[in-house]
A and B are shown apart, each in its own frame.
Chain A
Amino acid sequence: MNVSKLKQKVSKHSKIQDRKYKAVVIGVSAGGQKALKTILLGLPSDLTFSIIIVIHRHSDSDDYLERSLNSECRIRVKQADEKENIKDGVVYLAPPNYHLLIEDDNTFSMSVEETVNYARPAIDVLFESAAYAYCPELIGIILTGANYDGSRGLKKIKEMGGLTIVQAPETAEVGDMPRAAIAAVEPDHILPLKEIGPFLMDMNLEEE
């Protein structure tokens, strides 16, 4: 076997590890608080990418979820602010009643335009804007939920070369949203909830 073939083989084996991701976007609905906790609790405080989350919740919600996750997790968790610079190693949640979008200059913007898939914030809106800003250096994840929001956005991430992951429906509190995403996208990975956190840790690479 010559050297170039050998190199090919090695690079094929470590294909995923070679990539540096800028961000992970997560969409979650019914059953989301528990699922998020399962994933975020195991993460270290020095991730080399940001995590940006849309969770469907009541428009009058306060920031209780952010505060409780932040106090329990090692990684910093906060609600996204308008025009805020997105930093590695921080988990951001979309504020209730606003769509959250990502700008090319790595900042957040917001919108109160119409609900999408009956939701504001909508997963599709975040995922599509993240795809344009970050792909292919983006991971999109759909978790538990009772509707189909996020399928379109995940498809966009896939089309633009990002990595797509869906929670295995049988491990979801409500399997509709993962099932809809799987039907629409053919995701790169379908993972049980417990394996998603460790998978993200594997993506946490030191920059060369």
Chain B
Amino acid sequence: MDETSENEKIEFDLLLQAIYQKYGYDFRNYSKASIRRRIRHRFSRSGLKTISEMQHKLLNDKQFFEVLLLDLTVNVTEMFRDPSFFKMIRKTVIPELKKQPFIRVWHAGCSSGEEVYSTAILLNEEGLYKNTLIYATDVNEAVLDKAKKGIFSIDRMKDYTRNYRNAGGIASFADYYTARYDHAIMDNSLKKNIVFSDHNLVTDDVFGEMNLIICRNVLIYFSCDLQERVFGLFWESLRSGGFLCLGSKETIRFSTYSDDFENVAEGEKIYRKNGKITLI
């Protein structure tokens, strides 16, 4: 490795350290290639000369930090993303949830909320939503605000309608939102059992006992050590027999928690926590 790129790597590490100490957001154990790519992206638009200069600006300019924060937390999502996953939820998870008197769901890293509303719709159609509380959490408060509002671009609704149908949707998707100008406003009845809150998977702790945890395409950005921490957090937060859902490229197989979970769905990353299962 030549000296310039070695120095640059040191500068990246120092920048992440500075962000952590100043603002409390801990990206130090994120996968480096992707986080560096996003920092470089902002850097190339900043007119700054070195990453160290960027660090100085980040420490002294909160607004500049807020912009970078949006870059660093990937917020690409959609409703009923991977329809086959939601179809499998209906098949394997819903019958078990129906045995529970009350259901707690945690959407960890919910971003702007598209998947949260998808889950609310699904539970509603299965007659379970009225007995459900969904905790929707993210590290980024700006996207949480968007999630809370439940207002999405009307342009996406055509794709979402197709996803919804492929996911086994049984009603008319248009009944779940009101179109206004360029926006689709999600129905208020879907919001009433959702609690939106900021929660940082890297630094925050367990806050409740869940029947279902959905955390998809979040762990791909974390190092192995950080993934291990989060699996521990999920294990503690789940009831015995509770479900953990990951993104299609994420796996618990290489973690020490591997034996504590069983994959219950062929082709999808839906795991069930082992242990004594109490059926009511």
Contact = CB atoms under 8 A, between A and B. Distances in A.
Interface in A50-108: 81-83, 95, 98-99, 101-104
B249 interface: yes
The secondary-structure label for the interface of chain B is helix
B5 interface: yes
Contacts of A133: 33
Contacts of A101: 31, 33-34, 37
Interface stretch (B116-124, B184-192, B217-225): B217-225
B99 to A, nearest CB: 33
Nearest to B8: A132
Contacts of A160: 5
A102 B31 CA distance: 10
B220 A111 contact: yes
B33 A103 contact: yes
Interface in A106-135: 109-114, 125, 128-129, 132-133
B31 A112 contact: no
Contacts, number: 54
Contacts of B220: 82, 98, 109-112
Contacts of A99: 34
Nearest to B36: A132
B197 interface: no
Contact of A95 (B9, B36, B76, B249): B249
A127 to B, nearest CB: 12
Contacts of A109: 31, 33-34, 220-221
A52 B275 CA distance: 41
Contact of B37 (A82, A104, A125): A125
Given A83-B224, A83-B254, A114 B76 contact: yes
Interface string B30-41: 011110111000
Contacts of B37: 101, 125, 128-129
A103 B32 contact: yes
A129 B251 contact: no
A147 to B, nearest CB: 20
Contacts of B76: 112-114
B236 interface: no
A132 B251 CA distance: 26
Interface in B216-256: 217, 220-221, 224, 247, 249-251, 254
A25 to B, nearest CB: 13
A101 B251 CA distance: 18
Interface in B30-84: 31-34, 36-38, 74, 76
Contacts of B34: 99, 101, 109, 111, 113, 129
Contacts of A82: 220, 249-251
Contact of B74 (A102, A112, A125, A129): A112
Contacts of A125: 37
Most buried by A among B5, B37, B217: B37
A102 B5 CA distance: 15
B33 A102 contact: yes
A111 B221 contact: yes
A104 to B, nearest CB: 6
Interface of B: 5, 9, 31-34, 36-38, 74, 76, 217, 220-221, 224, 247, 249-251, 254
24 contacts: A81-B251, A82-B249, A82-B250, A83-B224, A95-B249, A98-B249, A99-B34, A102-B33, A103-B31, A103-B32, A103-B33, A104-B32, A109-B34, A109-B220, A109-B221, A111-B221, A112-B74, A113-B38, A113-B74, A113-B76, A125-B37, A128-B37, A129-B34, A132-B36
Of all A-B residue pairs in the complex, the 4 with the closest CB atoms, nearest first, are A101-B33, A109-B31, A129-B33, A113-B74
